[in-house]
Amino acid sequence: MVVAGEVLQSGSSQELHVLAVDDSYVDRKVIEKLLKISSCQVTAVESGARALQFLGLDGEKGSVGFNGLKVNLIMTDYSMPGMTGYELLKKIKRSAAFREIPVVIMSSENILTRIDSCLEEGAEEFLVKPVKLSDIKRLMEDCVTRGETEEQEGRRVHKRKLEDDNLNSSSSSPLSSSPSTTASFGCDISIPELLSSPPHPSKRAKLHDGD
Amino acid sequence: MDVVNQMQRQFVDYSTSLHREGILDDQFTQLQKLQDENSPDFVVEVASLFFEDCEKLINNMARALEQQGVDFKQVDASVHQLKGSSSSIGAVQVKNVCIAFRSFCEAQNREGCLRCLQQVTHEYSLLKNKLQTLFRLEQQILAAGGSIPVIE
């Protein structure tokens, strides 16, 4: 059992505490294992409401589960009944206490507009399910080097907004019908702006699996 | 250790055939790789959760499709969930039926949905049987003092 103080002080990627949010039992179990194997502390909850409760953001004092253990990363499924991952993301980014926590969205659907809205709301990454160990490993590296990327993230979000203006005329999202879990629209579609390398490469939306 | 070797070979052959027949995909192999001494029953546990999920969702779909006025959004929601779980465990046949199923939901085609429901039930039963056989083979190897071969 790790004492709260130790988690706060360690600073290494070894003891990251991740809050995983997913309404699917199967997915929760898998993500929990992926994170534990990557030496993370994991708290897995089944809904956005429970996640907010855990963080103490639901307005109630002394909420269930919040024991002072700092959350270093939030990974949430996009499609959930009640509160979607997107809505959860917004609530977190709009809270003074928790907006600094990186939020990663996971989705089985590779929809461009969805990816864009999540990134624009401040999501760290958008992972296409099923999530693999290599995805988690990359996230762990990103979290450790998070500090210096704040500035770059601001630039990246701004860049995406500009890209949107350029894309408006051409995007008709045939991509959303792709059933394959390997993001098949990677390099085939001619949307050069989307694939141009952002300031911090690992922060771009995860369009490919198995880099 | 001849018996163990034989069992191990049987396990590898069976596992390979499940992939070759397109019943399981690489995601299942990924899950097998995650199993370790800290969670020796990880794959079995995930599979059990998946089977429970399947049964619950298939029942939901059946009930929804029985209604006079079918709520296709509700059916679709269940199919979407099943598609997600099956994708997470590598149950590719089940997942593929779900994809077709969703199109019928979108088209509000009751007949098409019912056919898919039948298909998904069939694929789920098939998968469940095959996985139970696979897990049995694993148990036999372990009981005989051998280790489960890693399939690349």
| Nearest CB partner across the interface for B34, out of A24, A34, A179 | A34
Please report residues of B whose CB lies closer than 8 A to that of A23: 81
B64-118 residue pLDDT tens: 999 999 999 999 999 999 999 999 999 999 999 999 999 999 999 999 999 999 9
B133 within a domain of the structure (yes/no): yes
Quote ipTM for the complex.
0.91
DSSP annotation string for A137-180? HHHHHHHHT-GGGHHHHHHHHHHHHHHHHHHTTT---GGGG---
CB contact under 8 Å between A29 and B49, yes or no, is: yes
CB contact under 8 Å between B49 and A36, yes or no, is: no
The one-character DSSP state at A74 is: E
Query: Which of A23, A26, A27 is the best substitution to test chain B (most B C-beta atoms within 10 A)?
Result: A26
Mean pLDDT of B57-63: 97
B39 within a domain of the structure (yes/no): yes
Residue B51: which domain range? 1-144
B13 within a domain of the structure (yes/no): yes
B30 close to A (CB below 8 A): yes
pLDDT of residue A191: 40
Closest chain A CA to residue B84: A108
Please report residues of A whose CB lies closer than 8 A to that of B101: none
pLDDT of residue A145: 65
B150 within a domain of the structure (yes/no): no
Residue A3 has pLDDT above 60, yes or no: no
Mean pLDDT of A114-142: 93
CATH number of the domain that residue B13 is part of: 1.20.120.160
pTM: 0.76
Q: How many folded domains does chain B comprise?
A: 1
CATH architecture of A17-146: 3-Layer(aba) Sandwich (3.40)
A161 close to B (CB below 8 A): no
Helices (H) and strands (E) in chain A, counts: 8, 5
pLDDT of residue B31: 95
B60 within a domain of the structure (yes/no): yes
Closest chain B CA to residue A109: B84
A150-205 residue pLDDT tens: 545 554 444 444 444 455 444 444 444 444 343 333 333 334 444 444 444 444 44
B56 within a domain of the structure (yes/no): yes
A90-105 residue pLDDT tens: 999 999 889 999 999 9
Beta strands in A68-122 (DSSP E): 73-77, 103-107
Q: Indicate if the alpha-carbon torsion angle A88, B98, A34, A118 is positive or negative.
A: negative
- Rounded to whole angstroms, what are the CA distances from A203 to A120, A155, B52? 12, 12, 36
